[in-house]
Amino acid sequence: MLKSFYTYFTGSFLFCGAAVVVAYVVGGFKAALTVLFLTILETSLSFDNAVVNAGILKNWGIKWRRRFLTWGMLVAVFGMRLVFPMIIVGVVGKLNPLRTVELALYFPAEYSQLLESAHHQISAFGATFLMMVFFNYFVAKHKTEHWLRLIEEPLTRLGKMEAIEAALTLLVLLAAASALDDPIRVEFIEAGIWGIVTFILSKGMAALLGGEEKEAGRQIVRQGITGFLYLELIDSSFSFDGVVGAFALTKNLLFIMLGLGAGAMFVRSFTLLLVDNKTLLHYRYLEHGAFWAIGALAFFMMIGVGMRVPEAVTGMAGVFLIAASLGSSILANRK
C-alpha cells in the first residue's frame, strides 16, 4: 500500500515542493508558508471533488483518465486559478485584457477588490451548478441503494417528475436571494440561472453526442470530449469560492496559483488512487457522502453571500459527511 501511495502522489509532492521553493525565492519564508497553507486548504476542501471525479472516471479507459490528469490539470491550474479570475475582473470592471493583466501584476489590491465585488455572482453560478449535480444524483429514478434513507428515498420518488432537479435548485436559489438587497439580489438570481442553464447544456450535449448513456438504470458519463468538459465544469465549480477566498490570505496572483494548483494536483492524485483501487466498489456509501458534501458546499456558497461562513465550517462539513459515509460503508460490509 505504501508503494502504491508513493506511486500516485510523487508528482503531487514534487509539484508542491517546487511551488513552495518558487514562493520562497520570490517572497521569502512568509510567502512559502502561504503557498503551503493554500495547498493544504484546497486539498482538504476538495476531497469530495476527488470522490465525485472517481465516480465518473471509473467508467473510463486509462487513456482518458490520463488525459484528465494532464490536460485537465492545465485547465485546473492555469485556467481556473489564473485566467478565470482575470476574465471575471475584466467583465466586472469593463476592462480590456491588457489592463486586466496589468492590474493583476502591478495593482493586486485593486484587482482583489474588483474580484471580491463579483463574489455574489461567482457564488451563485457555482452553487447552482453544484446543486444541480447534487439533485441529479439523488433524484435518479432507478436509484435503489440509499445511505440516508429517510431523505434519499423521497428524493428518488421525486425523480418521476420532469426536470425536478432544476425546480428544486431554483427554489433554493430564490430562498437564498430573498435575504439579499437590490441590486445584488437581481445579479445573484441571474448568475444562478446561468449556472442551471450551463449544467443542462453540458448534460444535454453529453447525451446528444453519445457521452452519456444508461447503464443498470443510472446515467453514466462516458469518456470523450463531452465527458471531459462536463468533468472540468464540475471541477471548476468546486474552485470558484476557493479562488475568491484565497485573496483573504494573499493578494499575489502567483502565490494563489501555486498554492491552489498544488492542491488541485493532490485532488487529481486522490482521484486516480480511488479509481485504480476500486474504492467506491468496496465502500458502497462513499459516493453518497461525497454528493451530500457537494450539496452542503452549494448551500454554504449560496448563504455565504448574505452572511459570513468560515472556510473551516465548509471544509469540516464535507469531511464529516464523507467520514460518516465511510464508517457506514464499513459497518455495512461487516454485516
* Residue 36 in this model has a pLDDT that exceeds 80: yes
pLDDT at residue 5, rounded to an integer: 63
> What percent of the chain has pLDDT above 70?
87
Least confident segment among 8-22, 97-111, 117-131, 221-235? 221-235
3-class SS of residue 210: coil
Indicate left, alpha or beta for 216 from its phi (over 0: left) and psi (-120 to 50: alpha).
left
Q: Are 119 and 305 in contact (CB under 8 A)?
A: yes
pLDDT at residue 171, rounded to an integer: 94
Indicate left, alpha or beta for 219 from its phi (over 0: left) and psi (-120 to 50: alpha).
beta
Give the whole-angstrom CA distance, residue 253 versus residue 243.
10
pLDDT at residue 244, rounded to an integer: 67
* Residue 170 in this model has a pLDDT that exceeds 90: yes
pLDDT at residue 18, rounded to an integer: 92
pLDDT at residue 167, rounded to an integer: 93
Stretch 236-247: mean pLDDT = 69
pLDDT at residue 20, rounded to an integer: 93
Whole-model pTM: value is 0.78
Q: pLDDT by residue (tens digit) across 51-90? A: 877 877 777 777 777 777 777 777 776 776 677 777 777 7
Give the whole-angstrom CA distance, residue 311 versus residue 308.
9
Report in angstroms the alpha-carbon separations of 311 from 56, 84, 267.
27, 21, 18
In this prediction, residue 198 has a pLDDT band, given cuts at 50, 70 and 90, of confident
Stretch 30-48: mean pLDDT = 83
Strand blocks (E) in the chain = 212-215, 218-221
* Residue 173 in this model has a pLDDT that exceeds 90: yes
In this prediction, residue 166 has a pLDDT band, given cuts at 50, 70 and 90, of very high
The mean pLDDT of the chain is: 80
